[in-house]
Chains A and B, each alone.
Chain A
């Protein structure tokens, strides 16, 4: 479905960029509070095309809030958010984030997709309708093209033949795969996952993780919040460990898990790692 995009190799990044490199996603110095609670304290993450970034951390560390800020479900008070050349929010002179116009935000929504922990499929729509609704209604694409794409996505998710079922007739793992297909149907440049398997039994978890693995193999750019450490290690290029609203440590998947530098990372991994 996606053209295979080359992963940025060491060579490419060694080349001196002639002008400032445009990351597919950049979050810079994001600060976000709920009332008095400072949930994100100066978080910066950049994601390049084809990269898979896993975000790990204990409960309440702000992982979901970070994804929700990146997907415009929450607004942050300070910082910068951009998708490639599309700046979503930027600080003004006083250091307060100012968001772009509604039209820009709407356009930005075609650049990312979000897969929720509890799927959030539309229960009154069939599987096919769940996938085709947004491309048809929001992007106003051709029905034929959209339906064909939806069919091929369902094939890929191992859900061929389920087009006319409604979500309540599917298992959790199947529902989550429909949700992934729904997000992919908008041809996003980056896909966010917020604990995509936390609501699933181990067996169903596996089928969803396999789908995400396939996407990673095709160099789909993804940011995945997960508690599945071995999955993160296998699939992610980079792991970001968050705690208390800050990034404590980040590094390549293998090095961060095998050889964490920070005490807090070690403590967390000894709890969650296997």
Chain B
């Protein structure tokens, strides 16, 4: 049983890592779109964010999975389950991260942009070397919350029968007619989150060398 759950855990870990890898940068792009002066773009992005935040992630998983088939008549193979899971998680979490980035970016005083501008920094240099590092420090607690939620949310991919830890635990529990597999899975999630919290705490500490 531990072996099977361990394999499931690897899949959960993959979903977790790929989601972060995709949604953290995408979220920044989405935040730029949201703050864009191009009105149609900003409005489109606002709608996207509100849909992502206003509907269940489980439903989004189903839509992303079935859309190619029911929407466009494209046959979907078994391997698409995992891909659909990653796509749904990435676009969902990008929306949440975008709002976090946006609040962080907007909290940086204008004077920082002006000081950099007068020193001759280009807009890109200003953003990446002056603004963004300060944003990261400010949003870290909010990001930590999302990351911890993500650890637990990976279990939602059971609706697409992706063989991650929760799906596996469910199968074992049904076969063995016992709760033990769920309990063990629970421990896995808990330890996983403890490690995540510890790591995020280290990062926060590392940025503690200054305050505004």
Q: In this assembly, does B130 line the interface, its C-beta being within 8 Å of a C-beta of chain A?
A: yes
A139 to B117, CA, bound (A): 13
- Check if B111 sits within 8 Å of A123, measured CB to CB: no
- Check if A72 sits within 8 Å of B117, measured CB to CB: yes
Query: A residues 81-129 with Cβ under 8 Å of B?
Result: 106, 109-110, 112-114, 116, 118, 120-124
Q: How large is the interface on A (under 10, 10 to 19, 20 to 34, 35 or more residues)?
A: 20 to 34
Shortest CB–CB separation between residue A268 and chain B, in angstroms? Answer: 28
- Measured CB to CB, the nearest residue on chain A to B210 is A166
Contact digits for A170-213, partner B, Cβ 8 Å, 1 yes 0 no: 00000000000010001000000000000000000000000000
Q: In this assembly, does B175 line the interface, its C-beta being within 8 Å of a C-beta of chain A?
A: no
Contacts of B211 in A (CB 8 A): 123, 168
Shortest CB–CB separation between residue B31 and chain A, in angstroms? Answer: 20
Q: In this assembly, does B133 line the interface, its C-beta being within 8 Å of a C-beta of chain A?
A: yes
A135 to B54, CA, bound (A): 48
Within 8 Å by CB of B111, from A109, A113, A120, A168, lies A120
Query: B residues 57-109 with Cβ under 8 Å of A?
Result: 109
Q: Which among B32-40, B119-127, B146-154 touches the partner chain? A: B119-127
- Measured CB to CB, the nearest residue on chain A to B133 is A124
Query: A residues 155-175 with Cβ under 8 Å of B?
Result: 166-168
Interface of A is mostly: loop
A137-B121, A137-B125, A138-B121 in contact; A120/B210 too (CB < 8 A)? Answer: no
Contacts of A120 in B (CB 8 A): 109, 111-112, 114-115
- Measured CB to CB, the nearest residue on chain A to B121 is A138
A73-B114, A118-B111 in contact; A123/B120 too (CB < 8 A)? Answer: no
Contacts of A168 in B (CB 8 A): 210-212
- Check if A109 sits within 8 Å of B210, measured CB to CB: no
- Check if B120 sits within 8 Å of A116, measured CB to CB: no
Contacts of B116 in A (CB 8 A): 122
A123-B134, A137-B125, A168-B211 in contact; A116/B119 too (CB < 8 A)? Answer: no
Shortest CB–CB separation between residue B139 and chain A, in angstroms? Answer: 14
- Measured CB to CB, the nearest residue on chain A to B207 is A124
Interface of B is mostly: helix
- Measured CB to CB, the nearest residue on chain B to A124 is B133
A134 to B111, CA, bound (A): 16
Q: How large is the interface on B (under 10, 10 to 19, 20 to 34, 35 or more residues)?
A: 20 to 34
- Measured CB to CB, the nearest residue on chain A to B111 is A120
Contacts of B209 in A (CB 8 A): 166
Query: B residues 156-212 with Cβ under 8 Å of A?
Result: 209-212
- Check if B130 sits within 8 Å of A134, measured CB to CB: no
Contacts of B117 in A (CB 8 A): 72-73
- Check if A71 sits within 8 Å of B118, measured CB to CB: yes
Contacts of B137 in A (CB 8 A): 124
- Check if A138 sits within 8 Å of B210, measured CB to CB: no
Contacts of A71 in B (CB 8 A): 118
Q: In this assembly, does A133 line the interface, its C-beta being within 8 Å of a C-beta of chain B?
A: yes
Shortest CB–CB separation between residue B206 and chain A, in angstroms? Answer: 12
Within 8 Å by CB of A122, from B112, B118, B122, lies B112
- Check if A73 sits within 8 Å of B118, measured CB to CB: yes
Shortest CB–CB separation between residue A266 and chain B, in angstroms? Answer: 35
- Check if B114 sits within 8 Å of A123, measured CB to CB: no
A123-B134, A124-B134 in contact; A109/B114 too (CB < 8 A)? Answer: no
A166 to B210, CA, bound (A): 7
Query: A residues 11-32 with Cβ under 8 Å of B?
Result: none
Q: In this assembly, does B50 line the interface, its C-beta being within 8 Å of a C-beta of chain A?
A: no
Within 8 Å by CB of A167, from B111, B118, B122, B210, lies B210
A123-B211, A168-B212 in contact; A114/B118 too (CB < 8 A)? Answer: yes
Contacts of A122 in B (CB 8 A): 112, 115-116, 130
Q: List 22 A-B contacts (CB under 8 A).
A: A72-B118, A73-B117, A106-B120, A106-B122, A109-B120, A110-B120, A120-B111, A121-B115, A122-B115, A122-B116, A123-B210, A123-B212, A124-B133, A124-B137, A134-B121, A137-B121, A137-B125, A138-B119, A138-B121, A138-B125, A166-B209, A182-B119
Residues of A within 8 A of B (CB): 71-73, 106, 109-110, 112-114, 116, 118, 120-124, 133-134, 137-139, 166-168, 182, 186
7 closest Cβ pairs, A-B complex: A120-B115, A134-B119, A120-B111, A138-B120, A109-B120, A166-B210, A114-B118
Q: Given contacts A71-B118, A110-B120, A166-B210, could you give 9 more A-B pairs where the C-beta distance is less than 8 Å?
A: A106-B120, A120-B111, A120-B115, A122-B130, A123-B134, A124-B133, A133-B119, A133-B129, A134-B121
